[in-house]
Amino acid sequence: MKRFVGLLLGSFLLFGAWSTCMAQEKSEGMHGPPKVLVINREFLKPGKAGSAHQKTESAFVQAFAKAKWPTHYFAADSLTGKPRSLFFVGYNSFADWEKDAMGTAKNASLSAALDHASMADGELLSEYDTGAFMYRPDYSLNADVDIAHMRYFEIAAYRVRPGHRKEWDELVQLVLKAYDRVPDSHFAVFESIYGQENSVFLVFVP
């Protein structure tokens, strides 16, 4: 888990415990998506997933817990494609993201602990990247769910070619209209802001 969080490409299922740390509480048991979502994607070397990676990642958890850091994140492992772990951090605004980053940098003991954890974790990784996304409520449907009890997610990434935003918007509206008639349909859509070429939309289906 790097200090700034990665990027999803393709479609896959993943497993995770989506805690209330990245959601804005709406009512008891119901949580909405964050306005700003930062994602870190770590690709694991062959044979380095599982307990080996869990051990190195626990150092990040311990560092943040020891510092009593107010920002939370949750992790999920992919079930398809290349072995990879994803880390999600939600913020109310870009200003909150900046405040969190600057606060981490100014905390010498926390920064040192994270640097040490990064060195150990880096030995297990073949690559990692980071992306920032904004929540698109106009593209989402019934996104307020009991997210803390969800264990699996399907995430699809859609790349929109330059000059085709109008067609994309029309297509999304057709999809929303169709799924609005399907009982118990839920999905949240995020649009890439940083870390991607062209427009990328992530669709989270819990």
Q: Which CATH class is domain 12-205?
A: alpha beta
* Structural domain boundaries in the chain: 12-205
pTM of the model: 0.83
User: pLDDT tens digits, residue range 149-203?
Assistant: 888 889 999 999 999 999 999 999 999 999 999 999 999 999 999 877 779 999 9
DSSP states of 113-172: HHHHHHHHHHTTEEEEEEEEEEE-GGG-BS--B-GGG--EEEEEEEEEPTT-HHHHHHHH
User: pLDDT tens digits, residue range 125-138?
Assistant: 999 999 999 999 99
User: pLDDT tens digits, residue range 19-51?
Assistant: 333 333 444 555 789 999 999 999 999 999 889
DSSP states of 65-124: HHTT-S---EEEEESSSS-EEEEEEEESSHHHHHHHHHHHHH-HHHHHHHHHHHHHHHTT
Q: What is the pLDDT of residue 124?
A: 96
Amino acid identity, position 186: H
Mean of pLDDT over the chain: 86
